[in-house]
Amino acid sequence: MTEMVYGSMPGRVAEPVLPRWWGTIDKWSMTAILVLFAIGLLLGLAASVPLAERNGLDPFHYVQRQAFFGGVAMAAMVAVSMMSPDMVRRLGVVGFLFSFFALALLPIFGTDFGKGAVRWFSLGFASVQPSEFLKPGFIILTAWLMAAAQDLNGPPGKLISFGIAVTVVGFLAMQPDFGQAMLVLFGWGVVYFVAGAPMVLIGIILGLAGVGGFAAYNMSEHFARRINGFLASDIDPRSQLGYATNAIQEGGFFGVGVGEGQVKWTLPDAHTDFIIAVAAEEYGLVLVLVIIALYAAITVRSLYRLTRERDPFTRLAGTGLACIFGVQAMINMGVAVRLLPAKGMTLPFVSYGGSSVIAAGITVGMLLALTRSRPQGHMGDIFRGRK
């Protein structure tokens, strides 16, 4: 009857998923991610060939594997970036639970591949490093708990998340993997700070972290050896830091030329932790600055887009993900130029490693999902009395 009087209501035609996704995604950040991955493949062509030769494999064996893992990472990034914040939260919490369970099983079933730290599960055809997948899930879980704590009669999310952070750091220290442990603690601190933590409490936490580092230095030979190597006035020219430092100096501004670098033949981790040394030697400071600019662009643009976000969970989770992504890159490059002690941490999307690149794809996929444009006002509208 109503339709006869007023006419039928026209049905709303839903916009297709892909055009809607493309119209809301941060295209500059996605482009920077794709360029980083392309640079990683380019450097892999140089850095991994000597390793393949030493292991009696096809010269491009590791490059092909990296391309495969990278394809999986890019597919995961696109799929996750299409999710809503609620779906990202569910994925992050479930991912954290699985990763934490795997992390707890490392002392029993894990292996160190002769590197002195039990961080991997060996599957025969590949290996998995649970800590890489745990980081984005931990940030999502922490942001969810702290956002829930802001609700009326909400749970003590800050206290619960701190307990989880201490537990995770404890398991990572057992491997030992102090680099990832400090990155997890840093990520928790960033989310806590953005959630409104008092500066006094932040200072206390930093003090406790310093005490923990002092205790680790006295109790872990692995940790003490890396700190002593960093503090030594002279660098052993036959150490990884020595080879990397020399390669960076040899590269100069424009590099020694494509394929002409020598560090890849002597540096055991030239394709992973010290990939930036290969870039500096063969392509010079120019490529290094391009890489730094790409990481900075992704991090800064993401943080800028999050300033317009009203939802507390989205704002906290996005900030934490952007910061751990940028800081991990900074740590890796800082180690290569001896600004930081050796950490055993990869350069996201550039270093070789299946767990590293796939976990990085999931991380930036979550970040792209949380920074998508949504029908909402700016944060400033709240203070101007607009809804």
Would you state the pLDDT for residue 260? 75
Would you state the pLDDT for residue 79? 95
Asked if 59 and 52 touch (Cβ cutoff 8 Å), the reply is: yes
List of long-range contacts for 217-223, beta carbons under 8 Å, 24+ apart: 220/173, 220/176, 220/178, 222/116, 222/117, 222/176, 223/176, 223/178
Residue 104 lies in a domain: no
Residue 185 lies in a domain: no
At 183 the three-state DSSP class reads: helix
Residue 288 lies in a domain: yes
Q: How far, in Å, are 23, 48, 65, 351, 382 from residue 275 at the CA level?
A: 35, 10, 16, 6, 46
Beta-bridge partners for 111: 120
Cα separation, 256 vs 45, whole angstroms: 16
Cα separation, 200 vs 198, whole angstroms: 5
Cα separation, 289 vs 116, whole angstroms: 33
Hey, what are 321's tokens? Answer: 């993900």
Q: How far, in Å, are 15, 78, 224, 313, 329 from residue 140 at the CA level?
A: 29, 18, 32, 8, 20
Beta-bridge partners for 120: 111
Residue 340 lies in a domain: yes
Neighbours of 294 (CB within 10 A): 21
Residue 156 lies in a domain: no
Tell me how far the alpha carbon of residue 158 is from its chain's centroid. 23
Would you state the pLDDT for residue 381? 46
Half-sphere exposure in the Cβ direction for 91 (13 Å, CA): 23
- pLDDT digit of tens for each residue in the chain (387 aa)? 444 444 544 545 556 778 888 888 999 999 999 999 999 999 888 888 887 888 788 888 888 999 999 999 999 999 999 999 999 999 999 999 999 999 999 988 888 877 777 888 888 777 889 999 999 999 999 999 999 988 878 788 888 998 999 999 989 988 888 888 889 999 999 999 998 877 777 777 778 777 777 776 777 776 677 676 666 666 666 667 777 778 888 888 888 887 777 777 777 777 788 888 888 888 989 999 999 999 999 999 999 999 988 899 999 999 999 999 999 999 999 888 878 877 778 899 999 888 999 999 999 999 999 999 877 544 444 444 444
At 122 the three-state DSSP class reads: strand
Q: How far apart are the first and last CA of the chain?
A: 36
Number of domains in the chain: 1
Residue 55 lies in a domain: yes
Residue 353 lies in a domain: yes
Nearest to 286 by CA among 248, 329, 251, 253: 253
Tell me which residue has tokens 């990520």.
187
* φ/ψ (deg, to 5) at 123: -105, 10
Q: Which residues contact 260 (CB under 8 A, 6 or more apart)?
A: 282
Would you state the pLDDT for residue 38? 94
Q: How far, in Å, are 73, 111, 205, 217, 272 from residue 211 at the CA level?
A: 37, 29, 10, 10, 30
Q: Which domain holds residue 289?
A: 25-92+120-127+197-371
Cα separation, 81 vs 281, whole angstroms: 35
Nearest to 25 by CA among 376, 378, 365: 365
